[in-house]
Amino acid sequence: MLTVTDLQASYRGLVAIQGISIAVGAGEIVAVVGSNGAGKSTLLKSIAGWVKPDSGGVSFLGQDLLSLPAHGISRTGVALVPEGRRLFPRLSVRDNLMLGGYTKKKGPERDAPLEFIFSLFPRLAERLDQRAETLSGGEQQMLAIGRALMGQPKLLMLDEPSQGIMPKLVDELLEAVRKIRDRGTTVLLVEQRVAECLDVADRAYVLQTGRVALSGTSTEIAADDGVRRAYLGI
Ligand code: ATP
């Protein structure tokens, strides 16, 4: 479904990712893990068109994404929920959700994902008129994911969804990720909580200083000695 080939991206001449190649198959949950600054966010932003790579290729369902602007990429069915969520703080939960479906005409088709979103995150349904800025961190993350789902993406990319939320909610959130996949959306997941994330992912890539250091099934990655020492505290 998604093929990233030899991708390089830099910020003002400083290379952030160098020669990254990954593949994501339809229906998979693929995790990207690695320490701070390894290039995980840059990889997701490059795929979404928020960062313009220096070289390499990104192909999604046979389309060359690097030739498209960010809004063109989102129309192909790729959505990114960035770190820090980027909600519209002063708007209500309802309006934030509606803005996620902005490419669709008002009507039943636009509203179709709502039922699923509310089944995933019942708290959102209870807080439709609440301003986004007054939600808890976990609720804001749910809203950010809900907003992305309103666009009915084929590939959902999540950048550290567990950031700043309490441990109990992390499991709930990752369970939601599993349900999103089971409903037919492919997921590319960047996470710092490596153990929990490998639990839901089918496969994983470990990034180190802008390169893929290791890749394999989640079971293989979780059993790797280096990974266990560096990320799993074993
Ligand atoms: P983290 O887990 O801390 O979010 P990451 O693996 O997502 O890290 P990136 O955010 O992709 O890593 O950063 C990769 C490198 O690019 C880092 O050295 C970082 O300082 C640099 N970088 C990221 N964004 C920018 C930017 N907007 N301007 C300049 N340098 C940047």
Of 17, 19, 11, 30, nearest to 157 by C-alpha is 30
Let me know: does 226 contact 28? Beta carbons within 8 Å: no
Whole-Å CA distances, 215 to 1, 74, 160, 186, 200 = 18, 27, 19, 18, 16
So what's the pLDDT on residue 72?
94
Neighbours of 129 (CB within 10 A): 9
Tell whether ligand 1 has an atom less than 6 A from the beta carbon of residue 40: yes
- pLDDT tens over the chain, length 234 residues: 999 999 999 999 899 999 999 999 999 999 999 988 999 999 999 999 999 999 999 999 999 999 999 999 999 999 999 987 789 999 999 999 999 887 777 777 777 899 999 999 999 999 999 999 999 999 999 999 999 999 999 999 999 999 888 888 899 999 999 999 999 999 999 998 999 999 999 999 999 999 999 999 999 999 999 888 888 776
So what's the pLDDT on residue 191?
93
So what's the pLDDT on residue 76?
95
Tell whether ligand 1 has an atom less than 6 A from the beta carbon of residue 186: no
Tell whether ligand 1 has an atom less than 6 A from the beta carbon of residue 140: no
Q: Which helix (H) or strand (E) holds 178?
A: helix 167-182
So what's the pLDDT on residue 234?
67
Whole-prediction pTM value?
0.94
Interface TM-score (ipTM) > 0.90: yes
Cα angle 136, 70, 181; round to 5? 55
Of 184, 181, 175, 142, nearest to 161 by C-alpha is 142
User: How many Å lie between the centroid of ligand 1 and the Cα of residue 39?
Assistant: 6
Backbone angles phi, psi at 134, to 5 degrees: -95, 0
Using the atom order of ligand 1, give the atom closest to the CA of residue 39.
11
